[in-house]
Amino acid sequence: MKKKKLSEETKKQLIENGFQTDQLERFLSERGTTLVQFEQAAEILRNLFATPAVIVVIGSAGVGKTSTINAVFGVDWKVGVGERGTTFAQEAVFEIDAIHKVKIIDLPGIGDSIERDKQTAELYKKILPTADVVLYIVQADDRAFTDVEYSIKEYVLPNVSDVSRLVIGINKVDQLGQGTNEDIFWDEDFNYPSPAQMEYIEKKSYQTAKHIAKATGIKILWFTKKKINKKRIVAYSASKRYNLGELIRVICDAAGENSYKIPIQPANPLELMSEKAKQALEEAKKKAQNDQN
């Protein structure tokens, strides 16, 4: 019987991950698996991940779309949307690892001018139906949500394949409440909001969800019959890497059956802590372990 050979694509992936064909064959043999079975499994995986997940990001200039994309997906996209009022889409496909790829499409927001909004609306009609997830980013300290609510109701919802694909991101929450109360501050050492600022952030999330729900008629924050909190809105800070894990969780949830295509490797917020805070955290962990023993 002719010995099954691996495809060149599979060989390439193995070499990139430090394997040689003979090493793999021995590894599989020890576990009762053949190269034929491995190749079949590899082909299935290739077909599953051949088409990347499509994430459409919407928001006006300055809300932090590029920084969000980079922080959430672990990429280095240096191209921003540009000046306020830019009416074109920018897109890129990133190979996150040997399996995952993600296609990011960056779209401008609505609310610059009648003529520009017409052009943007055409982009929405063309692109939004193709999205696995639509992430609409707003700025945390922006109190003028009229344009956002109008954009979601009139331009986004009519064009998404399913309303559950929409996720609202409230970025730059580290700036919320600064200067209003001495208890409201961002702890730079631990890279984390103070308890008072945390409460302020949660209040802002609820108010934003309530306003959008009232204006658009969609639920983006609710409880199930089992009292499980469900949401399509997340308050976070891309620059501080705060709450990115929750953001990616909600994005995956919104992607539905295609959630397996979404890479999960948000930037680590602990890297932004001061050395003093890192040491204090390490000592606290050691103490907790000793207490358990």
Element (H, E) at 286: helix 275-292
Examine the pLDDT at 227 and tell me if it is beyond 60: no
Q: 3-state DSSP call for residue 68?
A: helix
Tens-digit pLDDT profile for residues 237-247: 999 999 999 99
Q: Which of 86-90, 138-142, 280-284 has the highest mean pLDDT?
A: 280-284
Tens-digit pLDDT profile for residues 168-195: 999 999 999 888 889 999 999 999 999 9
Name the band, by pLDDT with cuts 50, 70 and 90, for residue 31: low
- Alpha-carbon span 125 to 118, nearest angstrom: 11
- Alpha-carbon span 290 to 16, nearest angstrom: 41
Q: Which DSSP category does 155 fall into? A: I
Tens-digit pLDDT profile for residues 246-263: 999 999 999 888 888 888
Q: How large is the average pLDDT for residues 93-121? A: 81
Examine the pLDDT at 154 and tell me if it is beyond 60: yes
The predicted structure's pLDDT at residue 67? 93
Q: Cα 89 from chain centroid?
A: 19
pTM of the model: 0.80
